[in-house]
Amino acid sequence: MSKTTLEQWRMLKAVVEHGGFAHAAEAVHKSQSSINHAVHKLQDQLGIALLEVTGRKAHLTEAGALLLRRAERLLEQSEQLEDIATGLAAGTEAELRLAIDEVFPQCFLADALQAFSNQFPNTRIQLFETVLSGGAEKLVAGEVDILIAGSAPQGFMGNPLLRAEFIAVASAEHPLHRLQRELSLDDLRQHRQIVIRDSALHDSRDSGWLGAEQRWTVSHVATSADMVSRGMGYAWLPSTRVAEGLESGILRELPLGKASRRYAELNLIHADQETAGPAARALEKLLAQTCAGMR
C-alpha cells in the first residue's frame, strides 16, 4: 500500500510553485500549518529531504526535484480522471465512432475535430474513412454513432451538410486533351478510368464507371488523385482534392460540357438522434459550421 497521498504531493508542488509555505497556503486556501504538516509528513514517510529552506524561500533538493517531476504526472492523471468522471456524470460520451465518406473535405474534418478536441479533450474518437455505401453499412450494423454520406440508409434521417462537387480530370499530357474538342462517351471508353471501390463488405457498388475495359479500381480518393496526376487514367474527383493540381497546370478538366462536373449532397446522420449525447451534438454543430460556406 502506498505510504504517500496525492494531496501531500499537491501541497509540496504548491510550496515550490509559490516559493514558501505562507504563499502556498494563500494560493490553495489552506492553513499554513496544515501544509507544513503535509510536507513534513511526506518527507518522514519517504525518509528523504525534499525541501531546503534558504531565507524565507523553500527550494527543492535534487532528490525532491526528481520525485516531484514524477509526482506531477500522477497529479495530471488524477485531474484527468476527475474531468472524465465529471463528463460521464453529465452524460458526456467517453467515445464517438465516426464514419466519414472520403469525398468530405479533409480540411473541414480537421478543423471540426480540432475545435471538438478543445471542447471535449477526454472523448475518444474512432474515425472510419469510407466510400459510397461503406459508411451506411456500418451505421446499420451499429458500428458508428455518426455518419457523413451521400444518403441516409432506410430507417435513418440526415441533416444536409454540403454539396460536394466532382470534376472530370486527367493529366495535362493525357491523350484525351490532344483531341482538342468536346469529348464523347466513346472517347472516354477508349481510355483507362480510375474508379474508387465501395468500402462496403456487402452489396458494394461501383459508381460512375462508364464501361471502359481499362478500368482500374482503387480504395482511396488520394490513390486515384495520385494516379490521375501521373497520367495513368482519368477520373471524377472531389474539387477540393484537385484544386491545387488544376491551378498548377498538372491536371486539366476534361472538355465534357456540363457532364464534366457532378454533384452529390452530403448529409450527417446520427445512429440515434434522440439519444445523442452532448459530445455528438457539439460535433454535429462544429461540422455544420465548417461547411456553412459551401452550401
Q: Say whether both 281 and 137 belong to one domain.
A: yes
Q: Say whether both 168 and 198 belong to one domain.
A: yes
Q: Say whether both 67 and 132 belong to one domain.
A: no
Last residue of a domain, one of 40, 64, 89: 89
Please count the CA atoms within 13 angstroms of the CA of 127 that sit on its side-chain side.
13
Output the pLDDT for position 65: 87
- Segment 262-276, tens digit of pLDDT: 999 999 999 888 778
Output the pLDDT for position 207: 58
Low-confidence ranges of the chain (pLDDT < 70): 1, 80, 83-91, 202-212, 293-295
Output the pLDDT for position 125: 95
- Other beta carbons less than 10 A from residue 113's beta carbon: 18
Q: Is residue 123 part of a domain?
A: yes
Q: Say whether both 193 and 243 belong to one domain.
A: yes
Output the pLDDT for position 163: 92
Angle at alpha carbon of residue 220, lines to 218 and 225, rounded to 5° = 85
Which DSSP state fits 152? Answer: P
Q: Say whether both 155 and 270 belong to one domain.
A: yes
Output the pLDDT for position 34: 87
- Segment 147-166, tens digit of pLDDT: 999 988 888 989 999 999 99
Q: Say whether both 154 and 173 belong to one domain.
A: no
Q: Is residue 1 part of a domain?
A: no
Output the pLDDT for position 35: 86
Q: Say whether both 83 and 227 belong to one domain.
A: no
Residue 177, C-alpha cell as written in the block: 486533351
Output the pLDDT for position 22: 83
Q: Is residue 111 part of a domain?
A: yes
> Where in the sequence is the domain holding 285, given as residue range(s)?
95-161+266-294
Q: Say whether both 221 and 241 belong to one domain.
A: yes
Indicate the number of domains in the chain. Answer: 3
- 45's CB contacts (< 8 A; 6+ apart) are 3, 4
